Amino acid sequence: MRALLIRDLRLALRAGGGFGLGLAFFLILAVLVPLGVGPEPGTLALIAPGVLWVGALLACLLSLDRIFALDFEDGSLDLLATAPVPLEAVVAVKALAHWITTGLPLVLVSPVLGLLLFLPAEAYGWLILSLLLGTPALSVIGGFGAALTVGLKRGGLLLSLLVLPLYIPTLVFGAEVVSRGAQGLSVGTPLALLAGITMGAAAILPFAAALVLRINLR
């Protein structure tokens, strides 16, 4: 499992499809929003939680089709499916690799982008915490979507259509945590729901993705 994780991390960094692309998209979105809605600090502070979470969601979406695509093309996925390692564990490791190369960098850079959107100082800790809890769910859900579309030519659009509705609860509760934190309100309920979504996705979706992969590889 460790060797598979290191291999996927190296492939992601060499291909450049997750690390740099997601960060660049996140940065561009944070720069374009003030240009589009105006530089008024009050307005930007109000919409900053939603904008940052939408940016993180779309940045994660950019590289989802690469989770299984490269392994499917070179035949590695067939070998992994017949290896003594459970396919469910393979799916979980690949989702983890996607989060490390895409989600984690977004978490680390989010405070800097919050400055561009005049995010209140009280919300920075909640922004980081919500992204740490929520972005793993984006990778796991995305892994399930990637398993559904593996082998399809130009399946990127279909993958987006399948995954985006499943992302909505994570987006809603993640943005709500940051918004309530900025206002000094209690964040316990949305934070617990966000953590529950991540834990539920991590517990169930690797098995569903492995089942779908076995069907697609027959």
What's the number of domains the chain is made of? 1
What burial letters (b/e) apply to 86-120, b meaning 16+ CB within 10 Å? ebbebbbbbbbbbbbbbbbbbbebbeebbebbbbb
CA distance 20 to 33: 20
What pTM value is reported for the model?
0.90
pLDDT in tens, the chain (218 residues): 777 788 777 777 776 555 678 888 888 988 898 888 888 888 899 999 999 999 999 988 888 878 887 778 777 787 877 778 888 998 999 999 899 988 999 999 999 999 989 999 999 999 999 999 999 999 999 999 999 888 777 667 788 888 999 999 999 999 999 999 999 899 999 999 999 999 999 999 999 999 998 888 77
